[in-house]
Structure 1
Amino acid sequence: MKALAIGLMSGTSLDGLDICLAEFEKQDKWAFQILKSETLSYSEDWENKLRNSIHLSAEDLLELHSEYGFYLGQQVKEFIHKHRVEGISLIASHGHTVFHQPKRKFTLQIGDGRAIKLETGLPVIYDFRSQDVLLQGNGAPLVPIGDELLFAQYSACLNLGGFSNISLQSGDKRIAFDIAPVNIVLNHLAQQLHKSFDENGALAEKGTVNESLLNQLNALDFYQHSHPKSLGVEWCNQHIFPVLENIEALDALATFTEHAAQQICNVINQYSLKDILITGGGAYNTFLIEKIRAKTKAEVIIPEKKIINYKEALIFAFMGVLKMNNEINVLSSATGSSYDHSSGVIA
C-alpha cells in the first residue's frame, strides 16, 4: 500500500508554516520518504494575527478560523504548482493552536479544513486533537504514533519546539508527554533583545544563571506530576512570563536554557535512555544541546535537516493516511484518553 500526502504544521513559536510532501508505503512495516518540504515564514501581519488570536472575541476568532483556512489552502496550492506534484492522496493539517485546555474538554486549532479543500480540491483531514480531549485525553502529544511506526529504531524521540515533548517505549507501550517550554519562552526573551530567536544559544551563553529563579522554575507544580501531561501558552502566561519580567533578558535566557536542559535530562535519566533522536528548531540551539549532552549519558542524535525541520509535519501527513484507512492514529498511552482511536475530521 502506498500513499502520497502533504502535512501542514504551524507551531506555537510561530516560526512559520511547515509543508511536507511525503510518500508512505506499508509492506511488513511502514516506511516513508520526504519528497519535498519547505517552511514559509509568516508575514508580520499573519504573525500578529496568530499571536493575538487568544485575545479575540468569539466572532473575530471564527472569522480568523476561516481566513487562515483559505490562507493554508492557497499556500498548499502554490506549493503543489511550484513542485509540479501529481497524485496526492490527501492533505493533513494540524492548524494553529489558540486554546488548549483539556481539563475543560476543549482544544482549538484554527484553519478550517473545509477552506483548504475548497482551495485545493483535495481531501483534507484536520482537527486531530479535539476527539482525544473529548475522550478524557490531553489531546497531546499526537506524534508518538509516528515515532512508534516510523522511528522505532531510537530509544526515544525528543522534539524541541515551542515546548519540549518526548516519546519513548516503556514496557509494552509507548508513553509520551510534554516536558517543559522551550522556544516559546526563549524566542520571547530574544525578542526583548531585538532578535527573533536566540541563534545557537549565543545570547544565553552570555548571560548568568540566576540560581534563585532557576529553583523557582524547577519547583513549579507541573514538573512534579507524572505523565500523561501537556502544556499550552496559557500555562506560560500564568507561571513563566511573570517571573521572568524582573530579570535582565540575557540572564533570563541563560536561566531558562539551564532550566529546560535540567528538566529534559531529568526525564532522559529517569528512564535510563540509551539514545535519543532530537528534532524541532531547538536542535539547532547548540548551547542547549551541549547542556543536554553534559547532563546525560544517553547518545544524543541530531538527524539530517529535513527530519529536524519537518518531522512533525511528516507525522501529521502520516496520521492523515492512517485516518483515511480508518486505522488507529492516536495512542491512549501517550495522551491519557480512554482508548486508542482514529482521530481527525475529513473534509
Structure 2
Amino acid sequence: MAYRLHLSAPLDAEIRRIAREQVEKAIATLTRDDGDRHEAIHDARKRFKKLRGLLVLAEAGDPARVRAEIHRYRDAGRALSGARDRTALIEALDGLKARFAEEVETPSFEVVRTALELKRDAALEAIGDPEALVGETVERLRGGLTALGGLVLKGGAKRQRAILSGALAKNHRRARRDLAKALRTGAAEDFHDLRKRLKYLAMHLKLASRAWPEALAPLEASADEVAEALGRDHDYAVLRAEIAADSVSFGARADLDVVLALLDRHQSELRDRAAFLAGRLLCDRPEVFAARLEAWMRLAGTHAPDTAPPETPEALRRHAH
C-alpha cells in the first residue's frame, strides 16, 4: 500500500495501518538473504524516517506513547548509521565532482576519495558483526509492531481532525523558525534542522495527497528538493569537518584546496536554491496552512470517499485492549 492516508478513515486507524506497513517492509528488507546488505540498511533507515514523519501527526493525541515510538525508530536508525554515513560522504564527493565535471579536471577528487574509502572500511571493521546489529534492530522493530496496537486517539472525527491540524501547524511553525535562524546564522547545524522540518513537510504532503493530487504534488516535489539540497549541504559540512580533523590523511594541501573551494561554491548554490523554495513553501502562517490542508482532506473524504483496507483481526485485537 502507498504511503498515503485514506481520507474517509479515522486518523489513528490510518496511522496504525501505514506504520505497520513500513515496519513490516523494513523487517522484510533487513531479513532478506539475498541482495546488498548496505542497500538494505539504507532502505530501512529511510523507512524509519517515514515512520517518524507519520507518527508526529498523532503526538498531541497520545504524547508519551507516540514520543516513545518516535524515539524507537530514531534509535534504530542511529544504530545502523555507521557505515552508511561514511558511504554518504563518498557519494557527496562524487556528486561534487559531477557538478563541476565540465569546468574542472583534477586528480584531487580521487586523492580525497581514496582517503574516504579507507575511513569507511575502518568504520566497517569497528562495527563488528553486522548481522548481530541487524538482528537487534529487527527485534526492536517487532516490538514496535506490538506497540502500534495501543495507538488509539480518543474522541471522534472532529477531535482527530484537530490533532492532525495541530501537528501540521506545529511542523510548519518550526520550519519557519528554522528557516529564519539558518538564514541569520549561516550555520550548518541550523540548515540541517531546517532540512528535517522540510522532510517532514514533504512526508505530510504525500500522506495528504489524495486530498488534491494536482495541487499537492508540486508542493511535495519542492519540499523534497529542499530536503535533498540541504541533505547534500549537511554531507558537505561533515566532509569539511572530517578533512579539518585529519587533513594529513587526505593528501597534499593543494588537492584539498581544490576540493574545498568547489565544495564552498556548490554549498552556496544549494543553500540559495533551498532558501528560495523554502520561503515559498512556508509563506503562509502555520494556522492558515494547516487549516487549508485539513479542509481539503475533509472535503475530499466526504465528496469521494476512498476505501481504507480493514485492519487485520490481530491488529484489531491489539488496540481493543
Q: TM-score, normalised by structure 2?
A: 0.31
Higher relative contact order (CA 8 A, sep 6+): 2
Higher helix share: 2
Higher strand share: 1
Larger Rg: 2
